[in-house]
């Protein structure tokens, strides 16, 4: 084998093993990595299901692409001018036309079934253990823990502060959301000015935060760690500077944090008119 081909084969093999390592559940870092090619590793059941669905689609599109490539190569070799000097004048083939209509329909149905299953799974929230309200503002997030009655603002760190705190650039925040592991966390989103979107890739969560509306999503983190996300709806000049940071801790640490947060952060000021309406 010429050395250039051998080098290519080696590079190919290395790439395949890298992809396999990523697919086979790499250690979650909760943030995007340089040269990352796949999703961030899943840490919630919803994201695991999204990954499964993505893998199914990947197999299907790879098979279709290879099939089309094989057809193209076959036609180029078998039916070029030299190999086939007198071409056939056939214009229709009913069987073939019925087949190339029916087969894609069957493929779409095969995709639709798990797709709807996943949509229902995401939409059907289990009974929440904890509720957090995320309010998108130009350009930061405010969070409320309604059951424990406190609220705080969460601002993206400047580059200097991020470096000092060993936080990733454009992802670290000053006040982190803390949640317990293996608990269903309900996230209620809304916008204070324009539409924002609360998204954390490792959780498989992305929900628009619309002024005048309350949208609901949920996650159940099954691993400890810090997970990052970003506003995912173009909301103005500093859209790129309103990151999301969620720390998943065990129940004991959560209780300690909650006790401290109640003292540190302000009580939620319920608008008396809203309170009267919702009584
Ligand atoms: Cu935004």
Residues 147 and 261 in one domain: yes
With 60 as the cut, is the pLDDT of residue 167 above it?
yes
Q: What tokens does 211 get?
A: 């002024």
Residue 271's pLDDT is: 64
Q: How far is the CA of 31 from the centre of ligand 1 (A)?
A: 18
CATH number at residue 118: 1.10.287.90
Q: How far is the CA of 28 from the centre of ligand 1 (A)?
A: 25
Residues 106 and 43 in one domain: yes
Residues 73 and 140 in one domain: no
Q: How far is the CA of 254 from the centre of ligand 1 (A)?
A: 28
Residue 14's pLDDT is: 46
Stretch 137-150: mean pLDDT, rounded?
Answer: 94
Nearest to 188 by CA among 257, 240, 265, 136: 136
Q: What tokens does 190 get?
A: 């809304």
207 in any annotated domain: yes
12 in any annotated domain: yes
* One-character DSSP codes across 221-252: --S-EEEEEEE-S--STTGGG-EEEEEEE-HH
Q: How far is the CA of 236 from the centre of ligand 1 (A)?
A: 7
CATH number at residue 255: 2.60.40.420
Q: How far is the CA of 156 from the centre of ligand 1 (A)?
A: 12
147 in any annotated domain: yes
Q: How far is the CA of 199 from the centre of ligand 1 (A)?
A: 10
Residue-wise pLDDT tens digits, 213-258:
999 999 999 999 999 999 999 999 999 999 999 999 999 999 999 9
29 in any annotated domain: no
Q: How far is the CA of 196 from the centre of ligand 1 (A)?
A: 5
Computed over every residue of the chain, the mean pLDDT equals 89
Out of 107, 123, 139, a domain closes at 123
Residue 2's pLDDT is: 45
Q: How far is the CA of 15 from the centre of ligand 1 (A)?
A: 35
Residues 260 and 139 in one domain: yes
3-state DSSP percent of the chain in helix, strand and coil, to 5: 40, 25, 35
Residue 26's pLDDT is: 58
Residues 50 and 99 in one domain: yes
Structural domain including 69 reads 3-22+37-123
Reported confidence tier of residue 273, pLDDT bands at 50, 70, 90: low
Q: How far is the CA of 80 from the centre of ligand 1 (A)?
A: 54
Q: How far is the CA of 208 from the centre of ligand 1 (A)?
A: 10
Spatial neighbors of 28 by CB under 8 A, at least 6 apart, are 40, 41, 42, 43, 202, 223, 225, 227
Q: How far is the CA of 86 from the centre of ligand 1 (A)?
A: 61
Q: How far is the CA of 232 from the centre of ligand 1 (A)?
A: 6
Give the span between the Cα atoms of 209 and 140, in whole angstroms.
12
Out of 88, 123, 158, a domain closes at 123
Q: What tokens does 41 get?
A: 């590793």
Q: How far is the CA of 209 from the centre of ligand 1 (A)?
A: 10
Rounded to 10°, the helix 94-123/45-78 angle is 170
Residues 142 and 274 in one domain: yes
Q: How far is the CA of 226 from the centre of ligand 1 (A)?
A: 21
CA 128 to chain centre: 21
Residue-wise pLDDT tens digits, 173-226:
999 999 999 999 999 999 999 999 999 999 999 999 999 999 999 999 999 999
Report CA-CA distances (Å) from 90 to 9, 94, 98, 115: 43, 11, 16, 40
User: Could you give the residue ranges of the DSSP H alpha helices within 151-279?
Assistant: 159-164, 251-264, 272-278
Reported confidence tier of residue 275, pLDDT bands at 50, 70, 90: low
Q: How far is the CA of 151 from the centre of ligand 1 (A)?
A: 20
Residue 278's pLDDT is: 54
Residue-wise pLDDT tens digits, 100-115:
999 999 999 999 999 9
Q: How far is the CA of 145 from the centre of ligand 1 (A)?
A: 22
Give the span between the Cα atoms of 112 and 120, in whole angstroms.
12
Q: How far is the CA of 137 from the centre of ligand 1 (A)?
A: 9
Residues 138 and 260 in one domain: yes
- Bridge partners, residue 93, by sequence: none
Residues 135 and 105 in one domain: no
- The answer to whether the bond into 10 is cis (omega within 30° of 0) is no
Largest CA distance in the chain: 88
Q: How far is the CA of 171 from the centre of ligand 1 (A)?
A: 13
Out of 56, 88, 123, a domain closes at 123
Residue-wise pLDDT tens digits, 14-60:
444 444 444 445 567 899 999 998 999 999 999 999 999 999 999 99
SS3 158: coil
Give the span between the Cα atoms of 2 and 91, in whole angstroms.
46
32 in any annotated domain: no
Residues 48 and 177 in one domain: no
With 80 as the cut, is the pLDDT of residue 145 above it?
yes
Q: How many domains does the chain have?
A: 2
Residues 254 and 139 in one domain: yes
Q: Which DSSP helix (H) or strand (E) runs through 143?
A: strand 140-145
């Amino acid at each position: 084998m010429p050395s250039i081909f051998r080098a290519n084969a080696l590079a190919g093999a290395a790439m395949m093993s890298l992809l396999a390592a990523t697919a086979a559940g790499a250690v979650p870092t909760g943030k995007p990595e340089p040269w990352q090619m796949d999703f961030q590793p899943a840490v919630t059941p919803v994201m695991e299901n999204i990954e499964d669905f993505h893998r199914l689609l990947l197999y299907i599109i790879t098979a279709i692409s290879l099939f089309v490539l094989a057809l193209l190569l076959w036609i180029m070799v078998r039916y070029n001018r030299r190999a086939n000097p007198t071409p056939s004048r056939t214009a229709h083939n009913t069987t073939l036309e019925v087949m190339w209509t029916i087969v894609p329909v069957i493929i779409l149905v095969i995709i639709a079934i798990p797709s709807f299953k996943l949509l229902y799974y995401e939409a059907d929230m289990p009974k929440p253990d904890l509720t957090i309200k995320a309010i998108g503002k130009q350009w930061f997030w405010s969070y409320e823990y309604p059951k424990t009655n406190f609220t705080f603002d969460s601002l993206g760190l400047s580059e200097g502060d991020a470096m000092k705190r060993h936080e990733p650039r454009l992802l670290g925040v000053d006040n982190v959301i803390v949640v317990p592991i293996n608990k269903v966390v309900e996230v209620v989103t809304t916008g204070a000015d324009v539409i924002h979107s609360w998204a954390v890739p490792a959780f498989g969560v992305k929900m628009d935060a619309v002024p005048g509306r309350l949208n609901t999503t949920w996650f159940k983190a099954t691993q400890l760690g810090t997970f990052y996300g970003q506003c995912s709806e173009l909301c103005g000049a500093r859209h790129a500077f309103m990151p999301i940071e969620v720390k998943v801790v065990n129940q004991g640490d959560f209780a300690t944090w909650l006790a401290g947060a109640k003292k540190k952060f302000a009580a939620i000021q319920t608008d008396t008119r809203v309170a009267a309406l919702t009584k």
